[in-house]
Amino acid sequence: MLELGFHTDAFTSSFWSFEQCLAWAQANRVHWIECGVIDGVSWIHGLGYHPHVALWEDPVLLRNKMDRYGVAFTQVDAAFPLSTPEGATLGLEYVLHTIPWARLAGCPRIDTTDDHTRPQGMTDREAMAQMRRVYSRILRTAEAYQVTVNIEPHGYYTTKPDFLEEMLSFVDSPYLRLNMDIGNVFIAGQDPVQFVERFRGKISHVHVKDVSASLAAEAQGELTGIGNSQCAIGEGLNAANVRRCVEMLAGYGYSGVLVIECEAQGGLIESSLAWMRRLVSEIETRGVGWDKTGARGS
């Protein structure tokens, strides 16, 4: 069964707190939420103007609060760029601190990625070797806590399918998987449908973003990712890819959460949620009459 969630980044520009995001989820009948984690303190978070959570917050008490809203974590975002020199130190510690917190918070997976450019002063092979060491260390802890570590296409290496395939084989573990991001793959100049087909056996979580015509004209093939869709999902150039990818995922047996990543202001996230609900309903109505390619079966 396909389920819908959202990333609290949607409300960053609104200066909402995490609890305000929980209230929005409850009001809109959304039961899955993703947010970023902060390893330390921040004035904007401490004053309640930031929609992520800090690792100093008690994860069990937070889980209890979320239960009262009828909302649970589908993933937490620990996506410090692990391909940078700092990724081997600060980034590694950040992820290692996040994993046990996520387990106590009832969160089954965390998100990781690389930087948007090749790290300065490093060759591709040196950067890949560093990330292999980092992920090998991360997976030791992830396996102990039984928390899935997802790699998201968001950077220089992860949006290139051959590099991504190598990264997903850094460690032979069922806890190293892929967070497919349909919008990032598209803005990076790749084909999201081909990504889904190639990596379908590794996908454990999905981010859904659309891309406006103006942004695509300006930046497609130049950027490796975007934080949020700046147009409602279903209204941009990536809408057909979103539809096809979700249909294919359903055909392949994906039964996880589709996380909406869309700017909230102007009602964009509500429009996106309505469009995604219609899409999921259509797919569920078609049922077995649709094959894994998204084409109608006989």
Global pTM reads 0.95
* Residue 268 counted as domain residue: no
How many domains, the chain?
A: 1
Q: Which residue range(s) make up the domain with 101?
A: 35-42+79-257
* Residue 169 counted as domain residue: yes
Helix, strand, coil shares of the chain as percentages rounded to 5? Answer: 45, 20, 35
Looking at residue 40, its amino acid is: G
Strand boundaries in 146-291, DSSP class E: 148-151, 176-181, 203-208, 257-260
Determine the Cα–Cα distance for residues 240 and 217; give it in Å rounded to an integer.
17
Residue 111 and residue 154 in contact, taking contact as beta carbons nearer than 8 Å: no
* Residue 25 counted as domain residue: no
Residue 182 and residue 260 in contact, taking contact as beta carbons nearer than 8 Å: no
Q: What is the CATH number of the domain that holds 85?
A: 3.20.20.150
Three-class secondary structure of residue 101 per DSSP? helix
Determine the Cα–Cα distance for residues 6 and 10; give it in Å rounded to an integer.
8
Per run of 10 residues, the mean pLDDT along the chain (length 298 residues) is 97 98 98 98 96 98 98 98 98 98 98 97 97 98 98 98 98 98 98 98 98 97 96 98 98 96 97 98 78 52
Query: For residue 235, how many other CB atoms are within 10 A of its CB?
Result: 16
* Residue 193 counted as domain residue: yes
* Residue 66 counted as domain residue: no
* Residue 247 counted as domain residue: yes
What's the angle, vertex CA 162, arms to CA 206 and CA 92, rounded to 5? Answer: 65
* Residue 265 counted as domain residue: no
Which pLDDT score is estimated for 289? 42
DSSP code at position 289: G
Determine the Cα–Cα distance for residues 150 and 59; give it in Å rounded to an integer.
20
Token pair for residue 177? 């998987």
Which pLDDT score is estimated for 1? 87
Which residue, 111, 208, 113, is CA-closest to 154? 113
Token pair for residue 116? 């948007």
* Residue 71 counted as domain residue: no
